[in-house]
């Protein structure tokens, strides 16, 4: 059974109502600050990096890129975090900036270049390995979620075992949100 079909937990709804300070079309919505407050560990002494780490997840939760998270977005995100491949699902949504369900080459390059750090995976876009997923310069192709996840797993296995998939691309590490979230739901 897909967890995306699970009914929303009343706690998830309660957390949303507690934190949502924004309004859109007369409905409560979460701002970035609301969202970070809802998912970050309650006693964490924020510093800038931690805040940015959590705030980046807002982009994955804000499915229509409207700058606010609706109750439907929140419940969808909560279900996403329950999935065993949550980190990959989140990474995919961060890269799929137009939300059309595939990551095309331009999206991939753009997100990678915006977020890479000195520690990021150094892609050789012309390597046979990379063209397997992204195509070559004559013919680029978009990645489905399965292809994207396969690529990330390949990257991890090849280069950095035990490394969080998002940290391959982002200039900071993200504490797996599922842990914080489940603590929050206890």
Q: Which residues make up the interface to Ca ion (CB under 5 A)?
A: 96, 98, 100
Q: Whose Cβ is closer to Ca ion: residue 87's or residue 104's?
A: 104
Beta carbon of residue 93, minimum distance to Ca ion (angstroms, whole number): 10
Beta carbon of residue 151, minimum distance to Ca ion (angstroms, whole number): 15
Q: Whose Cβ is closer to Ca ion: residue 54's or residue 88's?
A: 88
Can you tell me the distance from the alpha carbon of 110 to that of 137, in angstroms, rounded to the nearest whole number?
Answer: 16
Beta carbon of residue 107, minimum distance to Ca ion (angstroms, whole number): 5
CB 94 within 8 A of CB 88: no
Beta carbon of residue 138, minimum distance to Ca ion (angstroms, whole number): 21
Q: Whose Cβ is closer to Ca ion: residue 20's or residue 166's?
A: 166
Q: Whose Cβ is closer to Ca ion: residue 27's or residue 98's?
A: 98
Beta carbon of residue 140, minimum distance to Ca ion (angstroms, whole number): 12
| Phi, psi angle pair for 23, to nearest 5° | -135, 140
Q: Which residue has the tokens 């990959």?
A: 88
SS3 for the chain is CCHHHCCCCHHHHHHHHHHCCEEECCEEEECHHHHHHHHCCCCCCCCHHHHHHHHHHHHHHCCCCCCCECHHHHHHHHHHHHCCCHHHHHHHHHHCCCCCCCECHHHHHHHHHHHCCCCCCCCCCCCHHHHHHHEECCEECCECHHHHHHHHHHHHHHCCCCCCHHHHCCCCCCCCHHHHHHHHHC
Q: Whose Cβ is closer to Ca ion: residue 100's or residue 182's?
A: 100
Beta carbon of residue 110, minimum distance to Ca ion (angstroms, whole number): 11
Q: Whose Cβ is closer to Ca ion: residue 113's or residue 117's?
A: 113
């Amino acid at each position: 059974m897909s967890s995306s079909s699970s009914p929303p937990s009343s706690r998830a709804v309660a957390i949303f109502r507690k934190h949502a300070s924004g309004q859109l079309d007369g409905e409560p919505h979460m701002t970035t600050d609301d969202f970070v407050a809802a998912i970050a560990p309650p006693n964490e002494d924020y510093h800038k990096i931690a805040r940015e780490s959590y705030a980046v997840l807002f982009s994955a939760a804000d499915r229509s890129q409207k700058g606010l998270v609706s109750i439907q977005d929140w419940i969808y995100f909560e279900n996403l975090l329950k999935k065993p491949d949550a980190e990959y699902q989140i990474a995919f949504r961060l890269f799929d900036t137009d939300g059309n369900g595939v990551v095309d080459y331009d999206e991939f390059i753009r997100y990678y270049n915006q977020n890479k750090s000195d520690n990021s995976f150094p892609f050789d876009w012309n390597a046979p390995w990379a063209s397997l997923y992204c195509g070559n310069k004559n013919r680029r192709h978009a990645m489905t979620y399965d292809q994207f996840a396969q690529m990330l797993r390949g990257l991890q296995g090849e280069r950095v075992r035990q490394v969080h998939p998002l940290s391959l691309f982002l200039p900071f590490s993200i504490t797996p949100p599922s842990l914080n979230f489940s603590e929050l739901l206890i």
